[in-house]
Amino acid sequence: MVRIFGFLVGAFFTVMLVVSFVIGAYNQVTEPPAATVEHEFLQHPHAISWSFNGPFGKYDKAQLQRGFQVYTEVCSACHSLKHVAFRDLKDLGYEDAEVKAIAKNWKSKISEKNPVTGDVTERAPTPADLVPVVYYAGSGTPPDLSLIAKARHGGADYVHSLLTGYKEQAGYKNEEGKELLKEFPDAKTPSGLYFNPYFANLNLAMPPPLVSDGQVTYGEGNPKPTVDQMSQDVSAFLAWAAEPKMEARKATGFAVVIFLLFGAVLAYLSYQSIWSTKEH
Amino acid sequence: MSFPWAEHYEPKLPLMKWLDERLPLPRFVYNAVGAGYPVPRNLNYFWNFGVLAGLALTIQLVTGIVLAMHYAASAGVAFDSVEHIMRDVNSGWLLRYAHANGASFFFIVVYIHIFRGLYFSSYKAPREMVWLLGVVIFLLMMATAFMGYVLPWGQMSFWGAQVITNLFSAIPLIGDSLHTWLLGGFAPGDAALNRFFSLHYLLPFVIAGVIILHIWALHIPGSSNPTGVEVKGPQDTVPFHPYYTAKDGFGAAVFLLIFAVVVFYAPNYMGHPDNYIPANPLATPALIVPEWYFWPFYAILRAFTVDFSIPFTGIVIIPAKLMGVLAMFSSILLLFFLPWIDTSPVRSGNYRPLFKKFFWLLVIDVLVLGYCGGSHAAEPYLMISQIATAYYFAHFLIILPLISTIEKPLPLPGSITEAVLAKARHTTGTADAVAAE
Amino acid sequence: MATEVQGAEAVGGEGEGVRRRDFINIAAVSFAGVGGIAVLAPLITQMNPSADVLAQATTEVDLSAIQPGQAIKAVFRSQPLFVRHLTPAEIAAADKVDASTLRDPQTLEERTVDGKTQWLVTMGVCTHLGCVPLGAAEGEVRGEFGGYFCPCHGSSYDTAARIRKGPAPKNLQVPKYKYTSETAILVG
Q: What is the pLDDT of residues A99-120, one digit of tens each?
A: 999 999 999 999 989 888 999 9
Mean pLDDT (whole number) for B390-413: 93
Residue A67 has pLDDT above 90, yes or no: yes
Beta-strand runs (E) in B145-261: 237-239
ipTM value:
0.94
Residue B318 has pLDDT above 50, yes or no: yes
Question: Are B419 and B413 within 8 A, CB to CB?
Answer: yes
Residue at A215: amino acid letter:
Q
Domain of B94? Answer: 37-270
Residue B133 has pLDDT above 90, yes or no: yes
Residue C158 is predicted with a pLDDT of 93
Strongest mean pLDDT among A205-209, B168-172, B318-322: A205-209
Mean pLDDT (whole number) for B358-380: 94
Contact map slice: C 51-70 vs B, CB within 8 A: 51-53
Residue B436 has pLDDT above 70, yes or no: no
Residue B359 falls inside a structural domain: yes
More confident residue, A8 or B197: B197
Residue B396 falls inside a structural domain: yes
Residue B110 has pLDDT above 90, yes or no: yes
Q: Does C55 touch chain A (CB under 8 A)?
A: yes
- Inspect the interface and report whether the beta carbons of A267 and B252 lie closer than 8 Å: yes
Facing residue for B89 by CB, picked from C25, C32, C50: C50
Chain A residues with CB under 8 Å of B382 CB are: 20, 24
Q: Domain with B398 in it: what CATH number?
A: 1.10.287
Query: B264 and B363: one domain?
Result: no
Chain C residues with CB under 8 Å of B433 CB are: none
Mean pLDDT (whole number) for C36-46: 96
- Inspect the interface and report whether the beta carbons of C28 and A270 lie closer than 8 Å: yes
Closest residue in A to B242 (Cα) is: A274
Residue C1 is predicted with a pLDDT of 46
Residue C138 is predicted with a pLDDT of 86
C153, C169, C173, C184: the active-site residue:
C153
Q: What total number of domains does chain B contain?
A: 4
Query: B228 and B367: one domain?
Result: no
Q: At what angle do helices B128-150 and B320-333 cross, to 10 degrees?
A: 130
Residue B97 has pLDDT above 80, yes or no: yes
Please give, rounded to a whole number of angstroms, the shortest distance from the CA of B97 to a CA of chain C. Answer: 13
Residue C5 has pLDDT above 50, yes or no: no
Quickly list H helices, B69-127.
78-87, 92-119
Helix (H) or strand (E) holding B381: helix B381-394
- The vertex-C47 CA angle with C43 and C53, nearest 5°, equals 140
Residue A29 is predicted with a pLDDT of 86
Residue B432 is predicted with a pLDDT of 52
- Best of C14, C16, C21 to disrupt the A interface (most A CBs within 10 Å) is C21
Residue at B338: amino acid letter:
L
Please give, rounded to a whole number of angstroms, the shortest distance from the CA of C125 to a CA of chain A. Answer: 23
Residue B430 is predicted with a pLDDT of 53
- Best of B305, B326, B423, B432 to disrupt the A interface (most A CBs within 10 Å) is B305
Chain A residues with CB under 8 Å of B265 CB are: 55, 250, 253
Residues of A with CB under 8 A from a CB of C: 85, 87, 127-128, 259-260, 262-263, 266-267, 269-270, 273-274, 276
Residue B315 is predicted with a pLDDT of 85
Query: B254 and B355: one domain?
Result: no
Residue C9 is predicted with a pLDDT of 42
Pick the CATH number of A37-82+144-244 from 3.40.50.720, 1.10.760.10, 2.60.40.10, 1.10.1740.10: 1.10.760.10
Query: B213 and B235: one domain?
Result: yes
Contact map slice: C 27-56 vs B, CB within 8 A: 28, 32, 41-43, 45-48, 50-53
Q: Domain ranges for chain A, please list them.
A: 37-82+144-244, 85-129, 251-280
B219, B224, B331, B395: the active-site residue:
B219
Facing residue for B249 by CB, picked from C28, C43, C51: C28
Q: Does B384 touch chain A (CB under 8 A)?
A: no
Chain C residues with CB under 8 Å of B69 CB are: 46-47
What residues have CB less than 8 Å from C3, skipping those under 6 apart? none
Facing residue for A127 by CB, picked from C25, C29, C55: C55
Closest residue in C to A276 (Cα) is: C21
Facing residue for B90 by CB, picked from C28, C32, C45: C45
Look up B223 and say whether it is catalytic.
yes
Residue B278 falls inside a structural domain: no
Give the mean pLDDT of chain C: 87
Residue B235 has pLDDT above 60, yes or no: yes
Phi, then psi, of B114 in degrees rounded to 5 = -65, -45
Residue C7 is predicted with a pLDDT of 42
Range scoring the smallest mean pLDDT among A26-30, B70-74, B141-145: A26-30
Residue A27 is predicted with a pLDDT of 85
By the 10 Å C-beta count (0-12 exposed, 13-18 middle, 19+ buried), C151 is classed as: middle
Range scoring the smallest mean pLDDT among B65-69, B196-200, B398-402: B398-402
Residue B428 is predicted with a pLDDT of 67
Going by the DSSP 8-state scheme, the letter that residue B292 receives in this structure is G
- Best of C26, C46, C50 to disrupt the B interface (most B CBs within 10 Å) is C46
DSSP string, chain C: -HHHHHHHHHHHHHHHHHHHHHHHHHHHHHHHHHHHHHHHHHHHHTTSPPHHHHHTT-EEEE-TTPPTT-EEEEEETTEEEEEEE--HHHHHHHHHS-GGGSSS---HHHHS-TT-TTEEEEESS-TTT----B-SSTT---TTTEEEE-TTT--EEETT--EEESS--SPPP---EEEEETTEEEE-
Facing residue for A2 by CB, picked from B273, B337, B390: B337
Q: B208-238: b or e for each residue (b if 16 or more CB lie within 10 Å)? A: eebbeebeebbbebbbbbbbbbebeeebbbb
Going by the DSSP 8-state scheme, the letter that residue A85 receives in this structure is B
- Inspect the interface and report whether the beta carbons of C45 and B92 lie closer than 8 Å: no
Residue A37 is predicted with a pLDDT of 86
Contact map slice: B 301-320 vs C, CB within 8 A: none
Please state, in angstroms and as integers, the Cα–Cα distance from residue B329 to each residue in B325, B395, C154, following that order.
Answer: 6, 16, 68
Chain A residues with CB under 8 Å of B260 CB are: 253, 256-257, 260
Residue B275 falls inside a structural domain: no
Residue C125 has pLDDT above 90, yes or no: yes
Chain A residues with CB under 8 Å of B394 CB are: 10, 14
Residue C20 is predicted with a pLDDT of 59
Among C128, C131, C149, residue whose Cα is nearest residue C139 = C149
Closest residue in C to B243 (Cα) is: C25
A33: pLDDT confidence band, cut at 50, 70 and 90? Answer: confident
C3: pLDDT confidence band, cut at 50, 70 and 90? Answer: very low
**Interatomic CA distance for residues B132 and B123, integer angstroms:** 8
Q: Domain with B91 in it: what CATH number?
A: 1.20.810.10
What residues have CB less than 8 Å from C81, skipping those under 6 apart? C59, C61, C73, C74, C75, C121, C122, C123, C124, C175, C187
Which subunits sit against A, judged by 3+ Cβ pairs under 8 A?
Answer: B, C
- Inspect the interface and report whether the beta carbons of B250 and A250 lie closer than 8 Å: no
- Inspect the interface and report whether the beta carbons of C50 and B66 lie closer than 8 Å: no
Mean pLDDT (whole number) for A36-44: 88
B223, B224, B348, B375: the active-site residue:
B223
Facing residue for A6 by CB, picked from B94, B276, B334: B334
**Interatomic CA distance for residues B29 and B24, integer angstroms:** 9
Please state, in angstroms and as integers, the Cα–Cα distance from residue A222 to each residue in A70, A96, A186, following that order.
Answer: 13, 22, 45
B55: pLDDT confidence band, cut at 50, 70 and 90? Answer: very high
Please give, rounded to a whole number of angstroms, the shortest distance from the CA of A221 to a CA of chain B. Answer: 31
Residue B282 falls inside a structural domain: no
Mean pLDDT (whole number) for A165-183: 87
- Inspect the interface and report whether the beta carbons of A263 and C28 lie closer than 8 Å: yes
B124, B157, B291, B375: the active-site residue:
B291
Give the mean pLDDT of chain B: 93
Please state, in angstroms and as integers, the Cα–Cα distance from residue B321 to each residue in B127, B167, B172, B318, C154, following that order.
Answer: 36, 8, 11, 8, 72
Q: Is the peptide bond before A197 cis (omega within 30 degrees of 0)?
A: no
Mean pLDDT (whole number) for B165-192: 93
Residue B1 has pLDDT above 60, yes or no: no
Size of interface A-C (CB pairs under 8 A): 37
Question: Are A158 and A47 within 8 A, CB to CB?
Answer: no
Among A136, A64, A127, residue whose Cα is nearest residue A93 = A64
Mean pLDDT (whole number) for C114-137: 93
- Best of B89, B245, B432 to disrupt the C interface (most C CBs within 10 Å) is B89
Look up C128 and say whether it is catalytic.
no
Residue B433 has pLDDT above 80, yes or no: no
Mean pLDDT (whole number) for B389-415: 93
Chain B residues with CB under 8 Å of C48 CB are: 90
Q: Does B88 touch chain C (CB under 8 A)?
A: yes
Question: Are B431 and B425 within 8 A, CB to CB?
Answer: yes
Facing residue for A279 by CB, picked from B80, B320, B434: B434
Contact map slice: C 122-181 vs B, CB within 8 A: none
Residue C6 has pLDDT above 70, yes or no: no
Please give, rounded to a whole number of angstroms, the shortest distance from the CA of C115 to a CA of chain B. Answer: 40
